[in-house]
């Protein structure tokens, strides 16, 4: 008889008594708040959605000057295209997120459940990557437009000597890198903490299949 | 959701609540955490209940949702308590000699099981609940062969923990 069989005998005996809940104790439990990782993931995705919408809309509401300039820039087909793409992506994100949340089911087998959760996390990841890419595209793009449209800025930059040009380019690159690294750390932290156990268990299950 | 559904759910859960308690016993190591996990599994069972069709037994269905909640969904962990208790367990196993008395042996066995990882615990749980390899593989989403292989490894691991 091996160890587990000894354990089994005890496990199925009535010796180990648990606190038995009555019907009236169980009923209120159904309506308590869940603290599952899926729920947390859902809140994070909603926060992501609004965060990026707010970030992209902020300049428009923040200053009249910016608004005028942005309205002017909509005469440019490139900006119109980018805006349309932006809206399409937001709607696609909402749809994909909705779809992947619907596919998370506790009645699936453990591996499939983990895969559905990881897939949802991927949808959020791609949305963030898209937004980051847009930030990186829009900074040089807006500088380029400033250069062409804003005479003051144009004259200033044109008067730069090569050394000053290098410094300016350096500052822009450093700022972008710092921004990127900070965001990366931030995301690593949230998803790292939230999904650490899931990732570990998923790896364990995958390892069995090799 | 209507009252009738709630009533029938509560009635069935009340009857089979031992399954949930047993999952909690394996995946937690203090009463607070036990109650907390019991609560979360109950919520998840209730949420999944409208999709429960009578084609499988209520208890079978509970195994799946219960384990999924314990392994994957459950988030509230009382880490500080867990680590100290875990250290105590290791210390105790090393300090105590393997005793003949049944109770002592059982105690050591339960402590050894506590040291397994989440997936290993699930295998042990289903084994203790007398599930066959077909059901174990179906619940975890691995092949029957791999479930068997892993089960043997778990048994070996338990032996190593007990006889370091």
Q: What CATH number has the domain bearing residue B56?
A: 1.10.1740.10
Predicted local distance difference test score (pLDDT) of residue A15: 64
Percent with pLDDT over 70 in chain B: 84
Residues 6+ apart with CB under 8 A from A1: none
Mean pLDDT, residues A47-67 taken together: 81
CATH of the domain at B111: 1.10.10
Both B68 and B101 in one domain: the answer is no
Torsion on CA atoms B90, B92, B94, B96, rounded to nearest 10 = -160
Both B103 and B60 in one domain: the answer is no
Both B50 and B82 in one domain: the answer is no
A111: nearest Cα among A208, A195, A30: A208
Structural domain total, chain B: 2
User: Nearest-CA distance from B37 to chain A in Å?
Assistant: 10
- HSE at residue B144, side-chain half, CA atoms within 13 A, is 5
Query: Would an 8 Å CB–CB cutoff place A43 in contact with chain B?
Result: no
Q: Nearest Cβ partner of B48 from A3, A107, A200?
A: A107
Q: Nearest Cβ partner of A34 from B6, B40, B150?
A: B40
Domain boundary among B35, B50, B77: B77
Residue A128 lies in a domain: yes
CA distance A175 to B46: 50
| Residue A18 pLDDT greater than 80, yes or no | yes
- HSE at residue A12, side-chain half, CA atoms within 13 A, is 12
Least confident of A36-45, A109-118, B77-86: B77-86
Least confident of A72-81, A180-189, B47-56, B108-117: A72-81
| Residue B79 pLDDT greater than 60, yes or no | no
DSSP state of B54: T
Both B84 and B45 in one domain: the answer is no
Domain boundary among B77, B92, B118: B77
Predicted local distance difference test score (pLDDT) of residue B83: 44
pLDDT, mean over chain A: 86
pLDDT in tens, B98-154: 445 778 888 889 999 999 999 999 999 999 999 999 999 999 999 999 999 999 999
Structural domain total, chain A: 1
| Residue A37 pLDDT greater than 50, yes or no | yes
* pLDDT band at residue B84 under the 50/70/90 scheme: very low
pLDDT, mean over chain B: 85
For an interface test with A, which of B43, B69, B122 has the most A Cβ atoms less than 10 Å from its Cβ? Answer: B43
| Residue A60 pLDDT greater than 90, yes or no | no
B47: nearest Cα among B9, B21, B76: B9
pTM of the model: 0.83
Residue A11 lies in a domain: no
pLDDT in tens, B26-56: 999 889 999 999 999 999 999 999 888 777 7
* pLDDT band at residue B85 under the 50/70/90 scheme: very low
Query: Would an 8 Å CB–CB cutoff place B6 in contact with chain A?
Result: yes
Domain boundary among B77, B92, B121: B77
Per the CB < 8 Å rule, is B72 touching A114? yes
Both B161 and B84 in one domain: the answer is yes
How many other C-beta atoms lie within 10 A of the C-beta of residue B136? 23
Query: Would an 8 Å CB–CB cutoff place B40 in contact with chain A?
Result: yes
| Residue B86 pLDDT greater than 80, yes or no | no
Residue A13 lies in a domain: no
- Tokens 């799946």: give the residue: B64
User: Nearest-CA distance from B30 to chain A in Å?
Assistant: 13
A70: nearest Cα among A141, A133, A128: A141
Query: Would an 8 Å CB–CB cutoff place A178 in contact with chain B?
Result: no
Complex-level ipTM: 0.82
Residues 6+ apart with CB under 8 A from B129: A11, B19, B22, B63
Rounded to the nearest angstrom, the gap between the alpha carbon of residue B68 and the centroid of all alpha carbons in its chain is 10
CA distance A161 to A138: 25
**Chain A residue closest in CA terms to B35:** A19
Structural domain span for residue A124: 35-200
Residues 6+ apart with CB under 8 A from A41: A117, A120, A121, A124, A194
Both B69 and B83 in one domain: the answer is no
| Residue A180 pLDDT greater than 90, yes or no | no
**Cβ proximity of A57 and A70 under 8 Å:** no
Residue A54 lies in a domain: yes
CA distance B65 to B82: 24
Both tokens of A60, joined, read: 């428009």
Residue A169 lies in a domain: yes
A–B CB contacts, 8 A cutoff, strictly below: 148
Structural domain span for residue B65: 1-77
Residue A112 lies in a domain: yes
Percent with pLDDT over 90 in chain B: 63
| Residue A149 pLDDT greater than 80, yes or no | no
A51: nearest Cα among A170, A186, A148, A172: A186
Check residue B141 and give left, alpha or beta (phi > 0: left; psi -120 to 50: alpha): left
**Cβ proximity of B80 and B33 under 8 Å:** no
- Tokens 């459950």: give the residue: B74
């Amino acid at each position: 008889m091996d160890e587990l069989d000894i354990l089994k005998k005890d496990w199925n005996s009535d010796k180990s008594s648990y606190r038995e809940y009555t019907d009236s104790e169980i009923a209120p439990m159904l309506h308590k708040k869940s603290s599952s990782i899926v729920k947390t993931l859902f809140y994070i995705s909603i926060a992501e959605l609004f965060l990026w919408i707010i970030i992209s809309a902020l300049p428009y509401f923040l200053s009249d000057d910016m608004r005028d300039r942005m309205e002017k820039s909509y005469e440019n087909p490139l900006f119109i295209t980018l805006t349309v793409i932006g809206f399409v992506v937001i709607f696609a994100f909402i749809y994909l997120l909705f779809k992947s949340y619907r596919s998370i089911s506790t009645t699936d087998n453990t591996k499939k459940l983990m895969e559905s959760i990881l897939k949802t996390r991927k949808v959020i990841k791609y949305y963030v990557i898209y937004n980051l890419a847009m930030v990186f595209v829009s900074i040089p793009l807006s500088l380029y437009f400033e250069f062409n449209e804003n005479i003051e800025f144009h004259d200033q930059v044109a008067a730069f000597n090569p050394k000053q040009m290098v410094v300016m380019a350096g500052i822009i690159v450093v700022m972008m890198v710092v921004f990127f690294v900070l965001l990366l750390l931030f995301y690593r932290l949230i998803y790292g903490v939230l999904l650490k156990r899931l990732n570990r268990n998923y790896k364990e299950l995958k390892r069995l299949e090799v | 959701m209507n009252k009738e559904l709630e009533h029938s759910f509560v009635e069935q859960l009340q009857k089979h609540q031992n399954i949930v308690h047993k999952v909690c016993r394996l995946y937690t190591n203090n009463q607070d955490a036990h109650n907390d996990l019991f609560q979360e599994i109950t919520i998840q069972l209730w949420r999944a209940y409208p999709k429960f069709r009578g084609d499988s037994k209520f208890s079978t269905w509970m195994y799946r949702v219960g384990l999924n909640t314990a392994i994957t969904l459950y988030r509230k962990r009382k880490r500080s308590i867990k680590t100290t208790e875990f250290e105590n367990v290791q210390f105790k196993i090393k300090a105590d000699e393997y005793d003949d008395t049944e109770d002592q042996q059982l105690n050591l066995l339960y402590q050894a099981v506590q040291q397994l990882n989440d997936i290993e615990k699930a295998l042990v749980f289903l084994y203790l609940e007398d599930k066959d390899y077909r059901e174990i593989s179906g619940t975890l989403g691995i092949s029957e062969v791999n479930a068997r292989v892993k089960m043997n490894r778990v048994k070996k691991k338990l032996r190593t923990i007990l006889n370091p």
